[in-house]
Amino acid sequence: MPTTCGNIITCTSPSGGVGLSVVAAMLARALHARHESVALIDADFVGGGLDVLLGMENDPGTRFETIDAPLGRVEGDALNHELPSWDGVRLLAFDSWNGPPPDWWQAQATIRALADANHVAIVDAGRGAIVAEVDELACNAHLVVVELSVLGLARARTHLDALRHRRDDVGAAGGGIGSGAGGGAVAGADGRADVLVVGAWPRGAERRRGAVSPDEAADYLGCDVAGPLADDPKLRTDVLTGLGIQSVGSTNRRAVDAMVRWADGLLGGAPCDP
């Protein structure tokens, strides 16, 4: 059965190249500054490599492709101690070049275990393929990063509709919704609903030509759109040279702060009950 706790936040995007993994990592680190324990989980089994993105590929510790979940169970506290730490955040990366992806039941057991052992679990699920298989991810909070372009918003509408349908299916099967307003509601001015949409400027667009404003995106999607996130040249250089994410630039601090406020509102200051 899916978890009934509200401390899993799944990060997805319908478009590649929008900086989803960076967003997930920045959210995890910012939440760690406010809460005792945070796990960052790489569940993008098509891409993966979150440890490389953060400059931790040589750090010893368990990776997702090496986890064994006998009888579909994983001991969360023990796994926590086996994971490398990134600025205090427990990191479970997936390196596709070192082994095959886990089966869905292994992924579900691992995510639940880390959610039980930490105040919050942030899951980088890439384009969301794993959400269709793991109820744990479907029935909890979602942060969706969308590209602020015509194509990006068309993809975003389809992505959000599929997410709502998946959550409805899980709810109808008795899983329920783990947090927030339920039913896949999208966050509004109060920031309390359990789906938050964040807009990102298209990368490489000269003077943002061809970009769609956050207000236009909100009208098209029928929900508030937080952000926007902008390309940060220093951050991009740090990642490309293996330094990882050093800091949040001033251009994106407001967007990151909005994500943290939303997450804090969902967490309510209390850890998940096992």
CATH number of the structural domain spanning residue 142:
3.40.50.300
* Residue listed under structure tokens 């401390």: 7
For residue 131, the number of C-alpha atoms closer than 13 Å in the C-beta half-sphere is 31
Asked if the structure places residue 43 within a domain, the reply is yes
Token pair listed for 126: 């890439």
Cβ pair 212, 205 in contact under 8 A = no
Q: Which domain holds residue 212?
A: 8-267
In a domain, 253, yes or no: yes
Q: Is residue 274 part of a domain?
A: no
Residue 44 falls inside a structural domain: yes
In 3D space, the residue among 233, 214, 53 whose CA is nearest the CA of residue 147 turns out to be 214
Kind and range of the H or E element at 11? Answer: strand 8-12
What is the SS3 assignment for 93?
A: coil
The upper half-sphere exposure of residue 136, i.e. CA atoms within 13 Å in the direction of its Cβ, equals 24
pLDDT per residue of the chain (274 residues) written in tens, 0 to 9: 333 447 999 999 999 889 999 999 999 999 998 877 999 999 999 989 999 999 999 999 999 999 988 878 899 999 999 999 999 999 999 999 999 999 999 999 999 999 999 999 999 999 999 999 998 899 889 999 999 999 999 999 999 999 999 988 887 665 544 433 334 456 654 445 789 999 999 986 666 777 999 999 999 999 999 989 988 878 888 887 777 887 777 888 889 999 999 998 888 754 444 3
CB atoms < 10 A from the CB of 37, how many?
17
Starting at the edge strand that comes first in sequence, how are the strands of the sheet with 85-86 ordered? 85-86, 89-92, 38-42, 120-124, 8-12, 141-147, 195-200, 226-229
Instruction: Answer yes or no: is 194 within a domain.
Output: yes
Q: Is residue 273 part of a domain?
A: no
Please report whether residue 1 resides in a domain. Answer: no
pLDDT at 149: 95
pLDDT at 194: 87
C-alpha span between 201 and 253 (Å, rounded): 15
With CA atoms as reference, report the closest residue to 82 among 93, 96, 70, 71: 93
Instruction: Note the pLDDT of residue 168.
Output: 87
Number of domains comprising the chain: 1
Q: What is the DSSP letter of 202?
A: P
Residue 103 resides in a domain: yes
Q: What is the pTM of this model?
A: 0.89
pLDDT of residue 258: 92
